Structure 1
Amino acid sequence: MNVATDSPRRQQLTQIAARLFMQQGFDRTTVRMLAEEMGIKSGSLFHHFADKQEILCAVIEESTRNALVSARRAMAEAVPTPRARLVALARVHLETLHDDRHAHGVALYEWRRLNDEDREHLTHLRDAYEALWHQVIVEARELGLVHGDPATVTRFALGALNWTARWYDPEGPMNTAQLADELANMVLSPAS
């Protein structure tokens, strides 16, 4: 099952749905609202998607795939030190989170609305993304640069970055690169 697609029209519809899901919430967004915002009739929506649940799955799948591709690229391009790799992951996480706020917000806040089949389908993407982080944290721990359980540190770091969706102001005093550096300073021992 792969609900994401390269169809430009379907991607456009997915972006519109992401915005509505973030503004209204998944449960309060009706098929009629989606169709109206998309400029199509309610019945035409089902030419592109089986149901509203498939739209939600497509939004989350696309945003998670994009984040995973960006994170893998960042890891490949980073200097192979735990600090450089952690900063690279944090920067790309913040960039993708804040460049596509709607889709990533939906992935964060509406995950629980996925049905069991879609959640199972998407879990491998989420786990692959978290595994990149976990790998860097484990490497840093082996060098004595991180203390504590790597899985917990990974979840704390991702949670802190995700929470910036609530408070970060791009017009404020720090850019996303500076925020990524701050995260690395908090997670890694000074010797790193």
Structure 2
Amino acid sequence: MNDSPRRKELTRQAAQLFVQEGFDRTTVRMLAQEMGIKSGSLFHHFRDKQEILAAVIEEGTQNALMIARDALDNCDSNPEARLHAMARAHLETLLTDRNAHVVALYEWRRLDPEARDHLGHLRDAYETLWEEVLDEALAADLIRGDRFLVSRFVMGALNWTVRWYDPRGERSPEDLARELIAMITHPAR
């Protein structure tokens, strides 16, 4: 995909509009107006509205992957530190790229099959990072349960923060990550 600064800015503006209006209700005219360009000019940067949606989700997922990998590279190697790093990284995506994160969560099903196939590897890579960290925590008896269920529980809790978390509030992402990990872990035997 084209990585021009203008396209990236248009992608961020589209993400905001998709969050506000929803993908289905957002028209090309609305996108062009939000972006400050004519409707026809939009097609200089994107083939169609589907490509805009794919660009939003791709950029957001790449950013989430980058933040998560960086967090894991810069934390202690023990399972609890790695679990905390992943939770904190996930919450960090809400601060750095909230709109793209929300669009990826709520509009993924709107992608056409070709775009889902193209972007599936990014989502799979992100989920694989989580699975590795959860497997380490399970093996260390830091958490208990079925990995699939634990994964869905943790990801669901983290993802739901987009509905209620206020970064200007009294709790930082660090506080939230610490609380989540405290809720799901127990001392090793």
Deviation at 1:190, TM superposition (A): 2.7
Per-residue CA deviation, residues 98-147 of structure 1 (Å, 9 max, x unaligned), is 33211111011111100111111111111110111111111111111111
The two structures have a TM-score, normalised by structure 1, of 0.95
Deviation at 1:191, TM superposition (A): 3.3
Count of paired positions: 189
Distance in 1 (CA, whole Å) between partners of 2:56 and 2:169 is 29
Q: Does structure 2 retain, via aligned residues, the 8 Å contact 1:98–1:165?
A: no
Q: Does structure 1 retain, via aligned residues, the 8 Å contact 2:18–2:26?
A: yes
Distance in 2 (CA, whole Å) between partners of 1:78 and 1:41 is 47
Residue 128 in structure 1 maps to residue 148 in structure 2: no
Tell me the percent identity. Answer: 63
Residue 32 in structure 1 maps to residue 8 in structure 2: no
Letter in 2 for 1:175: S
Aligned equivalent of 1:113: 110
Distance in 2 (CA, whole Å) between partners of 1:118 and 1:179 is 33
Letter in 1 for 2:91: L
Q: Does structure 1 retain, via aligned residues, the 8 Å contact 2:32–2:38?
A: yes
Aligned equivalent of 1:43: 40
Deviation at 1:167, TM superposition (A): 1.0
Distance in 2 (CA, whole Å) between partners of 1:131 and 1:170 is 27
- Structure 2 SS opposite 1:148: coil
Note the residue ranges of structure 1 that are not aligned, 5 or more in a row: none
Per-residue CA deviation, residues 81-111 of structure 1 (Å, 9 max, x unaligned), is 1110111111111011233211111011111
Q: Does structure 1 retain, via aligned residues, the 8 Å contact 2:83–2:137?
A: no
Note the residue ranges of structure 2 that are not aligned, 5 or more in a row: none
- Structure 2 SS opposite 1:53: helix
Per-residue CA deviation, residues 48-92 of structure 1 (Å, 9 max, x unaligned), is 000000000000000000100110111111100111011111111
RMSD value over aligned CA atoms?
Answer: 1.2
